[in-house]
Amino acid sequence: MEFKRVKSIKGELTVPGDKSISHRSIMLGSLAKGTTEVTGFLQGADCLSTISCFRKMGVDISNRGDGTVAISGKGMRGLVAPKDTLDVGNSGTTTRLMSGILAAQPFESRVNGDASIQKRPMKRIMTPLAMMGADIRSELGNDCAPLIIKGMDLKGISYLSPVASAQVKSAILFAGLYAEGQTSVTEPALSRNHTELMLEEFGVDIKTEDKTVTISPAKELLARKINVPGDISSATYFMVAAAITPNSCVTVKNVGINPTRDGIIRVMQMMGADISVENTSETGEPTADITVRSSGLKGCVIGGDIIPTLIDEIPAIAVLACFADGETVIKDAEELKVKESNRIDVMVSNLKSMGADIEATEDGMIINGGRELHGAYIDSKLDHRIAMSFAVAAMNADGKTDIDGFECVDISYPEFYEDLNRLVEG
């Protein structure tokens, strides 16, 4: 797909539902008694993979395609053995979180996905689940999918996680639903807490103290109504586009601003962006309308505990930094290397091809802003966050930019290009 510079972007929009919350609604709804009704569900490929997997385990899930999903829960012990491989597609969230559930089921499962999933590290969940008594192994012996999981009786553990990862934490907590005794996870920094909030909504005894979360085994989960807010990761591209495109103003409505996910707002404020957060709601997951206007930006240092709150937004932040005065340093973000692509290397190589002054480091990147970008050929590596970030960069670059693999945005935001074009002025 070809992109060119635009004069400005203006308007308001609502982005699709939060991907993390959508995944969890299917998983916990499937384990609950009764019918869980979900509105605002994300119709992206990753979340549809989660629906497909739980349907294969006997769960009746009605998806109207408009964000409304009804899950007829089977109860904690109601899943049935899948007749074939549970195909997670490109979804690391499905793979890791579902593994925690499968570890306690009375059957054996095979979990596999696309070429990207087969390269992503699974030892980070295999180790703690094995400590709980799970029988989980990598079919090829390389600590990646395909995974073979045979359900076992589990026991609670106290796990000190080497990484701040909501996927690791959630896999352990889901296994902890079935384990004998309490299970606790302590992280080096607080990762997103959607699992904890939703487990509490479903009636689970779960407590968080500082960076440790503790769950008690559950006898049953109770079906709920879940309203999924707009995904702040998806909103980020429009926020960044408005900040760097001259004479622009964009409002993204009903965005989730969970404090474990709002790092992009704080970083944009640090960089001097003209950003306002209004119409906040604290019912369930907190939400707000976010308005961003074009403004001068300055570089800053981004690292430490804020990184887990914006890990998926770093590709877009790298683009933002190219248009800021001075140096931006992104550090403590080694996790970027094991996403759908090595996002450090991919962002650096592609931004360099557009003329950016950027260098990779072991745990992030250093960007000297203020240099004019020009069009280039961009290899997205079929990574949705890379493709969307470069669509935004191309709108502020001379000449034309071609993005290879642009269709990968279907993973999280199928209507992204249409929504972006709708805001373009002139």
Catalytic residue at 383?
no
Q: Which of 18, 289, 312, 383 is catalytic?
A: 312
**Distance from C-alpha of 271 to C-alpha of 316, rounded to nearest angstrom:** 14
The residue with tokens 């106290």 is 158
User: Positive or negative, the Cα torsion across 28, 31, 32, 38?
Assistant: positive
- Unique residue bearing structure tokens 């373009």: 424
Report the side by side order of strands in the sheet with 274-281.
274-281, 287-293, 249-256, 8-13, 424-425
DSSP, res 192:
P
Q: How far apart are CA 98 and CA 117, in angstroms?
A: 14
In terms of Cβ atoms closer than 10 Å to its own Cβ (0-12, 13-18, 19+), residue 15 is buried
Q: For residues 308 and 350, what is the distance between their CA atoms, to the nearest angstrom?
A: 24
Is the bond leading into 259 cis (omega within 30 degrees of zero)?
Answer: no
What do you get for the CA distance between the two ends of the chain, in Å?
19
E runs forming strands in 220-262: 221-222, 225-227, 249-256
Q: Where are the beta strands (DSSP E) in 298-398?
A: 301-302, 327-330, 357-361, 364-368, 377-379
Residues identified as active-site: 312
